[in-house]
Amino acid sequence: MKIVSTVAEVREYVKTWKKQNKSVGLVPTMGYLHEGHGSLITKAREQNDKVVVSIFVNPMQFGPKEDLESYPRDLDKDAAFCEELGADLIFHPEPEEMYHKGFSSFVDMTVLTEELCGLSRPVHFRGVCTVVSKLFNIVTPDRAYFGEKDAQQLAVIRHMADDLNMDIEIVGCPIIREEDGLAKSSRNTYLSKEERQAALILSKAVRLAKEMMENGEKDCLKIISAMKELIEAEPLARIDYVKIVDQLTMQQVEIIDRPVLCAIAVYIGKTRLIDNVYAG
């Protein structure tokens, strides 16, 4: 496995692979890898001849008051993890390599980013769409892998790839959870022992929604109220949103009469965590 930091080096590797008719899978990440990322790399390994993992904490997708500076980083550990899972190449650029002086082109999206995280994090998806488009142009993969924990991001990237005729298969992979239910996330590392325990309220709320929907509840207000009541009983939790949206458009629905996504964002102390469940 090689680690490179320039666009030119990635292009050189990919050019050689394509000449040999090898398929290429891309796993875009911001590093500090865990088993959630591991499942994406493993899937990419199964489906492609070559696997590229990008590790780049993308400044453009963080708002001014967000955790860009404190976002956890550990390249050596990440490299060992990727090697173990059989990745072929890590692309680890500096911000200046991705955004040269005078950078002024962006990929923006409307409807799908109006709700959920798009509402709470206004610049986030513009940053995600821009960096993912750049990674697609640099690596030119056949397939790209994203986790369902960031369900809105996955829907946005699928939509972007379709809108902009990107000839790349977008593969979504299920949420990977800790044994006690907490969805794996690089941000879990911010949690104190007490907060780690309190964070279980997210998976409990999502499980409650799943049970209600499986038992035939169609009224979104009822489901959302029950979830909010459960979360509000946890003293360390503060709700950002609890919503049920159409799986494709990410617009809110009142009655479950189509495939939906029930998604939540909750602050545990200062750490904002997300979780979700698909239904319908």
Catalytic residues: 37
Positions 239 through 258 that interact with ligand PAF (CB under 6 A): none
For the window 134-173, what string marks contact with ligand PAF as x by the rule CB under 6 A?
A: ----------------x--x--------------------
**Residue 118 binds to ligand PAF (criterion: CB under 6 A):** no
Query: With respect to ligand PAF, which residue has the nearer C-beta, 107 or 230?
Result: 107
- In the complex, what is the shortest distance from the CB of residue 97 to ligand PAF, in angstroms, rounded to a whole number? 14
**Residue 29 binds to ligand PAF (criterion: CB under 6 A):** yes
Nearest to 235 by CA among 274, 268, 276: 268
SS3 per residue for 18-38: HHCCCCEEEEEECCCCCHHHH
The residue from 24, 30, 260, 263 that contacts ligand PAF (CB under 6 A) is 30
Name the burial class of residue 72, with classes exposed (0-12), middle (13-18) and buried (19+) by CB atoms within 10 angstroms of its CB. Answer: middle
**Residue 58 binds to ligand PAF (criterion: CB under 6 A):** yes
The count of C-alpha atoms lying within 13 angstroms of the C-alpha of 184, restricted to the half-sphere facing its C-beta, is 18
The residue from 14, 26, 28, 93 that contacts ligand PAF (CB under 6 A) is 28
The residue from 128, 242, 262, 264 that contacts ligand PAF (CB under 6 A) is 128
Is residue 52 within 8 A of residue 25, CB to CB? The reply is yes
Nearest to 210 by CA among 159, 258, 263: 263
CA distance 172 to 151: 9
DSSP H helices in 102-199: 116-120, 124-139, 151-163, 193-198
**Residue 276 binds to ligand PAF (criterion: CB under 6 A):** no
Stretch of 43-51, 126-134, 171-179, 262-270 contacting ligand PAF, by CB under 6 A: 126-134
CA distance 52 to 59: 21
Binding site for ligand PAF (CB under 6 A): 28-30, 58, 61, 128, 131-132, 150, 153
